[in-house]
Structures are given as C-alpha cells and as structure tokens.
Amino acid sequence: MYFSVTVGYMEVGARTRPYRQVARAQAQQRTRDALIAAAQTEFFAGRWEEASLEAIAASARVTKQTLLRHFGSKDGLLEQALERGYNEVRDQRFNAASGDVAGAVENLLEHYERWGERALQIGAVDGLGQVAAGLGRRARQLHCAWVEHAFGRSLGRLSAKDRGRRRAALIALCDAH
C-alpha cells in the first residue's frame, strides 16, 4: 500500500480575491433587458393577452424557463416591463429645469410624442388588475409632481385660491385623456 502527503504553506488570515461574477451579472442584466423589451413590444402592439411566454422568450432569444426564472410569471414580467416604462417616463419628465415654462412645454411635447399613445393603451387594456391600478396611481402622482416641478414658481406668485385652481387646470391640461 502506498500513499502520498503534500505539505504546503498557507498564510493564516491571508486575503483572497473576492469572486464577484461581473460577467455573469452583466449577462443576466442583458437577458432581463431583452425580455422586458420583448414584453413591451407585445404589450404596446396590443398583443399582450394573446402572447405566450414561449413567444416572448423566443423574441428575446431565451427559453421560457429563463423568462420564468427572472420574473416568475407573465404578470411578473408585465409588472417589470411597466415599471421600466414608468422609470423612463419619470426620468424624461423631470429632465426639464424647474420653473422653465418653455422647457416644460417642450418636455411635455416630447413626452407625448413617445409615450402618449402608450399611456392610453395601458389604460385601455382589460384584465391588468392591480398591476395597472397601481401604475395608474403612481403615474397620476408623478404627473402632479411634474406640474409642481415645471410650474411651481409661477403658481407660487398666485393667491392660495387661484393657485389651487390654476394647478388643477394645468394638471388637466397637460394630461393625455
């Protein structure tokens, strides 16, 4: 019988290089982005109800199982796709300088060129339930906050009574209904 023992020297308490999986995390993010883009395409083309998980996954060049691993369900994917859109809208809307009325109008026009039809589509789709209801509430709050951001300085010069009326008028005027 023969056996061998190898003895090596290892410093106690020596620090090792951390394993961060950067490339893997980047690949996962690209996959999520592709799935969200595919979901947004189906949703805004009016095909969400008919779209299968397999078709959405294939559009993103992944499998249905990969889609489910990332989002859990079709509703989970839709929620993240709508959340991504909400964040893009928020970032675009608050890009205008506070108090710059001309810039606010330009910002609003840019917003509705890109998102106006989509916003109406979200409201028109039946069966979205809590996902759409929550998004609708947040979108209204965002819109009201944007009106304050864009026109707050001008509104601040008015009496409290006139300020409330003018603010309500601006909210209605700048909304897409």
Domain boundaries, the chain: 24-72, 73-177
Residue 65: the pLDDT is 97
Query: Does 10 or 31 have the greater pLDDT score?
Result: 31
The pLDDT of residue 128 is above 70: no
CATH of 24-72, one of 1.10.1060, 3.40.50, 1.10.10, 1.10.3470: 1.10.10
Question: What number is the average pLDDT over the span 57-86?
Answer: 93
Band of residue 109 on the pLDDT scale cut at 50, 70, 90: very high
Helix/strand/coil (H/E/C) assignment for every residue in the chain: CCCCCCCCCCCCCCCCCCCCCHHHHHHHHHHHHHHHHHHHHHHHCCCCCCCCHHHHHHHCCCCHHHHHHHHCCHHHHHHHHHHHHHHHHHHHHCCCCCCCHHHHHHHHHHHHHHHHHHHHHHHHCCCCHHHHHHHHHHHHHHHHHHHHHHHHHHHCCCCHHHHHHHHHHHHHHCCCC
Query: Does 89 or 123 have the greater pLDDT score?
Result: 89
Residue 50: the pLDDT is 87
pLDDT tens digit sequence for 6-28? 766 666 666 777 767 888 889 99
Query: Does 65 or 89 have the greater pLDDT score?
Result: 65
Question: What number is the average pLDDT over the span 26-33?
Answer: 93
pLDDT tens digit sequence for 129-151? 677 678 878 888 999 999 999 99
Query: Does 37 or 125 have the greater pLDDT score?
Result: 37
Residue 172: the pLDDT is 93
pTM over 0.95: no
The pLDDT of residue 169 is above 90: yes
